[in-house]
Amino acid sequence: MEKIVPEKPVLILLYGFPGSGKTYFSRQFCEEVQAAHLEEDRLRYELFERPTYSKQENYAVSRIMDYMTSEFLKMGIAVVLDMNAMRIGQRRALRETARLNKVDTLIVWFQVDADTAFVRNLKRDRRKLDDRFATAYDVEQFKELASHMQQPESTEDFIVVSGKHTYLSQRSNVFKRLSDMRALSHSDAVPKMVRPDLVNLVPTNAQREQQNEGPRPIIFK
């Protein structure tokens, strides 16, 4: 399938709990749109055989991600930064990188409740492409990370999508915003938008059983 070529490069940042669907979305999006998919977890495993998540390791991964982002933007290539842009200062620095390269930034906020996100983490299947390099969290680690997350502010350009919706529904919202930003042409974006009544937003019981979700414990209050 021929990929959609953006009218101009854009930097797409992702925000949401681990397990909210950021990598799932990024992979499929970059299969349709000509954009660099920079996956932080995968880069970490390629650099370090046994990641320790130390400050020095985190710094090295961050610097390389920043460098790669800047280089792609300089070449006029859109970038999907597949990492949790969880801090205001972190996002500000990335927006500055985009600004220096005369590129607009869009934050995609994947909203899902903490319980659902945590259970998804527990059920990750390392045989699947989207789960292969994902960081594993226990309850306390998940809570610690969540406590440091800073939601996008009104001054930031962001769009909210549900982590429980289908990829097609998420894509429709993102394509519409990118079209409004003139990063995608109207003729490319409109055919990819689906009518809400054609999208199954809530899994059926059969689908839930197939996904082996089962009942979700209340972990976070």
pLDDT tens, position by position, 52-105: 989 999 999 999 999 999 999 999 999 999 999 999 999 999 999 999 999 999
Domain membership flag for residue 142: yes
The total of structural domains in the chain comes to: 1
**DSSP designation for 164:** T
Smallest CA-to-CA distance from 188 within 170, 172, 165 is with 172
Residue 220 has pLDDT above 80, yes or no: no
Higher pLDDT, 32 or 211: 32
Backbone angles phi and psi of 217, in degrees to 5? -70, 150
**Residue 99 belongs to domain with CATH number:** 3.40.50.300
In a domain, 69, yes or no: yes
Q: Give how far Cα 164 sits from Cα of 25, 61, 215, Å.
A: 11, 29, 15
> How would residue 5 be classed by pLDDT, with cut points 50, 70 and 90?
very high
Domain range for 176 = 10-210
Band (197; pLDDT cuts 50, 70, 90) = very low
Sequence-distant (6+) residues with CB within 8 A of 27 are 37, 129, 130
* 180-186: average pLDDT: 94
Residue 4, domain member (yes or no):
no
pLDDT at 194 over 90: no
Q: What digits encode the pLDDT tens for the residues 98-111?
A: 999 999 999 999 99
Tokens encoding 213: 């979700």
Looking at the domain assignment, is residue 87 inside a domain?
yes
Average pLDDT, rounded, for the chain: 88
Confirm whether 185 is domain-assigned: yes
Is the residue at 19 inside a domain?
yes
Q: What is the reported pLDDT for 202?
A: 42
For residue 215, being part of any structural domain is answered with: no
Name every residue whose Cβ is closer than 8 Å to that of residue 29 and which is 6 or more positions away in sequence.
35, 37, 80, 171, 174
Asked if residue 75 belongs to a domain, the reply is yes
